[in-house]
């Protein structure tokens, strides 16, 4: 548990904690969204809970928790084009790095090994990036590289440019047949930026930007007035509203689904003590994930929106 993450992302925090306690966390996880610092904190918190020698509480001071907070744990590795390099390439996560990762898996370990894949650079932060950085610091974790004068390690979403198909494919076998006590966590802005063969073998979670200015919920909010009840007669109307808004504003259809997911995560925050409702919202978010998969499979937007609408009225 981490107070900052619990407060901002109650659904995800709770989901990961429960999955870790019940030992059913996927071996390969994708966190996607626009704020990569907070994704990094979430990945570190998972690593901490997976390795805590006590009960995983936030202020635990066991050796594993301490090392992970300091970002010095030997079994928790950040893999980027500038972290854990094994060769001189500067623009990509190289095959050589992947081989290093795979080599470490040959030996068994008492630790639950976690490999966090992201893109990263050392840079001066803009004002909004600085806010994201401060939010990260408040979670209690350290970055893989310390601040150097006014330059900070800055996490960026991984994409096929910095993580080539060749390097990614070298990992597939380990993702498909994972050893116990190994987790791969990929941080990205958009799932489409990760090789499809990895996406299809992973569990993906949308991490909404806590700054919340970019998701518009106004155009569909009225359909959720009686939520979880949904007016049967308005299903087609709802689907049409989504489609019209997308076309009129020249938006990506996945953005429309992002807005609905954002709205649902807000509902979780508002209803966090009502576990039955929270479970219902959680399954609705899963359904919206399926809508995105349909869109990625080039199914027509109208069909996807109607499918989603009829799911809600069921
Ligand atoms: Zn601990």
What whole-number distance in Å separates Cα of residue 289 and Cα of residue 261?
9
pTM equals 0.72
Give the pLDDT of residue 209. 65
In the reported structure, the alpha carbon of residue 31 is separated from the centroid of ligand 1 by a whole-number distance in angstroms of 24
Give the pLDDT of residue 210. 57
Residue 123 lies in a domain: yes
Contact 268, 234 (CB under 8 A): no
Give the pLDDT of residue 314. 84
Q: Specify whether 199 is located in the same domain as 287.
A: no
Of the candidates 49, 44, 1, 42, the one whose C-alpha atom is nearest the C-alpha of residue 23 is: 49
* Tally of domains within the chain: 2
In the reported structure, the alpha carbon of residue 50 is separated from the centroid of ligand 1 by a whole-number distance in angstroms of 9
Q: Specify whether 243 is located in the same domain as 101.
A: no
The range of the structural domain enclosing residue 241 comes to 218-313
Q: Specify whether 95 is located in the same domain as 162.
A: yes
Q: What is the pLDDT along the chain (314 residues), one digit of tens a residue?
A: 799 998 888 778 888 998 898 888 889 999 998 889 999 999 999 999 999 999 999 999 999 999 999 999 999 999 999 999 999 988 999 999 999 999 999 888 999 999 999 999 999 998 878 989 999 999 999 999 999 989 999 998 999 899 988 888 888 888 888 778 999 999 998 888 888 889 989 988 888 765 544 678 999 999 999 999 988 899 999 999 999 999 998 888 888 998 898 899 888 878 888 889 988 998 898 899 889 889 888 999 999 999 999 999 88
Give the pLDDT of residue 165. 85
Give the pLDDT of residue 63. 98
In the reported structure, the alpha carbon of residue 58 is separated from the centroid of ligand 1 by a whole-number distance in angstroms of 8
Ion ligand 1, residues whose Cβ is below 5 A away: 52, 54, 60, 62, 65
Contacts of 237 (CB under 8 A, 6+ apart): 223
Contacts of 121 (CB under 8 A, 6+ apart): 82, 153, 154, 156
Q: Specify whether 259 is located in the same domain as 176.
A: no
Q: Specify whether 162 is located in the same domain as 242.
A: no
Residue 213 lies in a domain: no
Give the CATH number of the domain where residue 30 resides.
3.40.50.300
Q: Specify whether 120 is located in the same domain as 225.
A: no
Residue 246 lies in a domain: yes
Of the candidates 309, 291, 287, 308, the one whose C-alpha atom is nearest the C-alpha of residue 299 is: 291
Q: Specify whether 183 is located in the same domain as 229.
A: no
Return the sign of the alpha-carbon dihedral for residues 21, 22, 28, 31: negative
Q: Which of 165, 184, 206 is the last residue of a domain?
A: 206
In the reported structure, the alpha carbon of residue 42 is separated from the centroid of ligand 1 by a whole-number distance in angstroms of 16
Q: Specify whether 197 is located in the same domain as 228.
A: no
Q: Specify whether 199 is located in the same domain as 224.
A: no
Of the candidates 306, 179, 178, 138, the one whose C-alpha atom is nearest the C-alpha of residue 236 is: 306
Q: Nearest 5°: CA angle at 227, between 224 and 231?
A: 70
In the reported structure, the alpha carbon of residue 43 is separated from the centroid of ligand 1 by a whole-number distance in angstroms of 16
In the reported structure, the alpha carbon of residue 56 is separated from the centroid of ligand 1 by a whole-number distance in angstroms of 5
Residue 211 lies in a domain: no
């Amino acid at each position: 548990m981490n107070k900052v993450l619990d407060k901002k992302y109650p659904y995800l925090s709770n989901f990961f904690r429960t999955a870790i306690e019940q030992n059913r966390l996927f071996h390969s996880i994708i966190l996607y969204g626009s704020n990569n610092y907070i994704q990094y904190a979430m990945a570190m918190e998972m690593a901490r809970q997976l390795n805590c020698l006590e009960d995983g509480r936030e202020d635990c001071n066991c050796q594993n928790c301490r090392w992970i907070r300091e970002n010095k744990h030997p079994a928790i590795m950040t893999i980027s084009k500038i972290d854990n390099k094994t060769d001189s390439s500067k623009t990509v996560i190289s095959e050589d790095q992947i081989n290093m990762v795979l080599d470490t898996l040959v030996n068994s370990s008492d630790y639950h090994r976690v490999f966090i894949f992201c893109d990263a650079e050392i840079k001066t932060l803009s004002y909004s990036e600085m806010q994201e950085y401060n939010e990260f610091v408040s979670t209690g974790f350290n970055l893989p590289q310390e601040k150097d004068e006014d330059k900070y390690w800055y996490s960026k979403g991984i994409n096929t440019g910095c993580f080539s198909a060749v390097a990614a494919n070298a990992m597939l076998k380990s993702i498909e047949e994972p050893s116990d006590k190994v987790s791969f966590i990929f941080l990205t802005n958009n799932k489409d930026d990760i090789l499809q063969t990895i996406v299809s073998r992973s569990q993906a979670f949308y991490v909404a930007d806590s700054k919340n200015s970019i998701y518009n919920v106004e155009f569909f909010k009225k359909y959720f007035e009686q939520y979880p009840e949904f007016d049967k007669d308005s299903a087609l109307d709802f689907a049409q509203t989504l489609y019209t808004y997308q076309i009129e504003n020249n938006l990506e259809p996945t953005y429309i689904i992002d807005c609905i997911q954002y709205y649902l995560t807000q509902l979780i925050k508002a209803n966090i003590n009502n576990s039955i409702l929270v479970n219902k919202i959680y399954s609705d978010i899963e359904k919206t994930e399926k809508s995105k998969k349909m869109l990625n499979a080039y199914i027509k937007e109208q069909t996807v929106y109607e499918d989603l609408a009829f799911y809600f009225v069921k």
